């Protein structure tokens, strides 16, 4: 049996997955950021297994953490500055082994290492800071949780998209691989062998096309974008 979170929220069937996604979209605020990651990753994995198209920004944001080379959120510094505003207004200091340190100074150091450490390490650092500063109670209110702070964006959940064929990005190509009408169109243009490869590994399949084939691909799927 497949579940979205621990042993709850079954995702055995397509209908289960759709129900779970709708439920999570509505009640996400009830879950902490670690549960959001697990829920999102399990939903994405099961949706791929069942060939279900998914178009949820929160899935992009909370599954990005699994990518070792995940791009830092374009909103990262702004997210850190929002924490600084709260800490500065309350004169917040953090207890350390060597004494109390101005919380804003610590946040400045966190901002500096943003692009120098793996996403998971940065998330844990911010998570620990938030607990010491008592900021975890501000999640979804005045600040974003650590995962969203590092790997997410409320403005553009596909901020790390890469153009693969013309203006078509890796995100769009992956979604096309789950679109039955697009698959039928591509089958008539490229054949069954291509479709089998495309379904199993959509991004790499398109990357391996030559320029003429990529142009042909773009022309065939333009109406599905």
6 in Cβ contact with 28 (< 8 Å): no
Tell me the pLDDT band of 67, cut-offs 50, 70 and 90: confident
Shared domain check, 198 and 139: no
Asked if residues 221 and 176 have their Cβ atoms less than 8 Å apart, the reply is: yes
pTM of the model: 0.91
- Residue 5 pLDDT > 90, yes or no? yes
With H, G, I as helix, E, B as strand and everything else as coil, classify residue 149.
Answer: helix
Contacts of 140 (CB under 8 A, 6+ apart): 29
Same domain, 147 and 84: yes
Question: How far, in Å, are 44, 56, 61, 75, 163 from residue 143 at the CA level?
Answer: 26, 21, 15, 12, 31
* Domain assignment of residue 30, given as a range: 3-66
Q: Tokens at residue 90, please? A: 């309350």
Out of 127, 151, 175, a domain closes at 151
Residue 225 has pLDDT above 90, yes or no: no
Assess whether 180 and 204 both reside in one domain.
yes
Give residue-wise pLDDT tens across range 154-192: 999 999 999 999 999 999 999 999 999 999 999 999 999
């Amino acid at each position: 049996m497949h579940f979205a979170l621990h042993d709850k929220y079954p995702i055995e069937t397509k209908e289960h997955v759709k129900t779970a996604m709708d439920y999570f979209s509505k009640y996400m605020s009830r879950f902490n950021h670690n549960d959001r990651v697990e829920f999102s990753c399990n939903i994405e994995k099961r949706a791929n297994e069942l060939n279900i198209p998914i178009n949820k920004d929160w899935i992009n944001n909370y599954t990005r953490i699994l990518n070792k080379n995940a791009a830092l959120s374009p909103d990262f510094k702004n997210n850190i500055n929002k924490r600084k505003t709260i800490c500065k207004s309350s004169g917040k200091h953090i207890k350390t082994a060597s004494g109390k340190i101005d919380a804003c100074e610590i946040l400045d150091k966190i901002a500096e290492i943003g692009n120098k450490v793996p996403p998971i390490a940065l998330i844990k650092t911010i998570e620990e800071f938030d607990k010491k500063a008592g900021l975890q109670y501000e999640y979804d209110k005045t600040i974003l949780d650590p995962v969203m702070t590092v790997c997410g964006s409320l403005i553009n959940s596909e901020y790390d998209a890469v153009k693969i064929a013309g203006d078509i990005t890796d995100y769009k190509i992956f979604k096309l691989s789950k679109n039955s009408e697009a698959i039928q169109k591509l089958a008539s243009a490229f054949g069954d062998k291509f479709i089998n490869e495309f379904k199993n590994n959509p991004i790499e399949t398109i990357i391996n096309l030559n320029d003429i084939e990529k142009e042909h691909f773009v022309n065939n799927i333009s109406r599905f974008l």
